[in-house]
Chains A and B, each alone.
Chain A
Amino acid sequence: DAGVIQSPRHEVTEMGQEVTLRCKPISGHDYLFWYRQTMMRGLELLIYFNNNVPIDDSGMPEDRFSAKMPNASFSTLKIQPSEPRDSAVYFCASSVKDTQYFGPGTRLTVL
């Protein structure tokens, strides 16, 4: 299995621009999670889906962030407009039962 796939791996953008991060979960996994990792705040859960339905988005920092999962094999996390404080590594993870499997992450830098 290819594991969780994320794209892009690195993104550099300017403040105010829209950023879209993409994730393909492991086939057959019915949970998908979006996390953000920074030195200051550690690893934070932003939102998670079960069977393509958002279950808990309480970790989404503000309205500038939105996430979708149109089908079982694809999810996006969008930031519009982006700000320098959004700079972080964003991980997608998927699971079918107990263990969450993490993707390689997208390193986002907002200038």
Chain B
Amino acid sequence: ELKVEQNPLFLSMQEGKNYTIYCNYSTTSDRLYWYRQDPGKSLESLFVLLSNGAVKQEGRLMASLDTKARLSTLHITAAVHDLSATYFCAVGELTSGSRLTFGEGTQLTVNP
């Protein structure tokens, strides 16, 4: 059974600071996703990572994937308040078709 673990689960940081959210998964995968969820809202796709060494950046967020270590990171650069949200990683198993398993989510709060 695929397990997906994120850490930290809660992150409070100051504006302007950098930080990294980690996503570990337990079995071989060929695709990893990062989503953002604002309180009371739906999930918004941020990044799709489909190969080892993939790196994608959008604004102050950068995601990377190391399939050998079964690890993805979401790096936040110079955080701003608007980044406050819950961030989920989701992993697809090689043999599971389109099924995704989601991590618990990291609740990020950026303080002024």
Contacts and interface: CB of A to CB of B under 8 A. Distances in A.
A42 B100 CA distance: 13
A43 B35 CA distance: 12
B51 to A, nearest CB: 12
B42 A98 contact: no
B100 A45 contact: yes
B48 A42 contact: no
Contacts of A25: none
Tell me if A's interface is mostly helix, strand, loop or mixed: strand
Given A48-B98, A99-B48, A43 B31 contact: no
A72 to B, nearest CB: 16
Interface string B85-112: 0001000000011111111110000000
A34 interface: no
Interface size class, chain A: 20 to 34
Contacts of B50: 98
Interface string A68-111: 00000000000000000000000101010011111111000000
Interface of B: 31, 33, 35, 41-45, 48, 50, 88, 96-105
18 contacts: A31-B98, A42-B102, A42-B105, A43-B88, A43-B102, A48-B98, A55-B97, A55-B98, A56-B97, A91-B43, A95-B98, A98-B31, A100-B45, A102-B43, A102-B44, A103-B42, A104-B41, A104-B42
Interface of A: 31, 33, 42-43, 45, 48, 50, 55-56, 91, 93, 95, 98-105
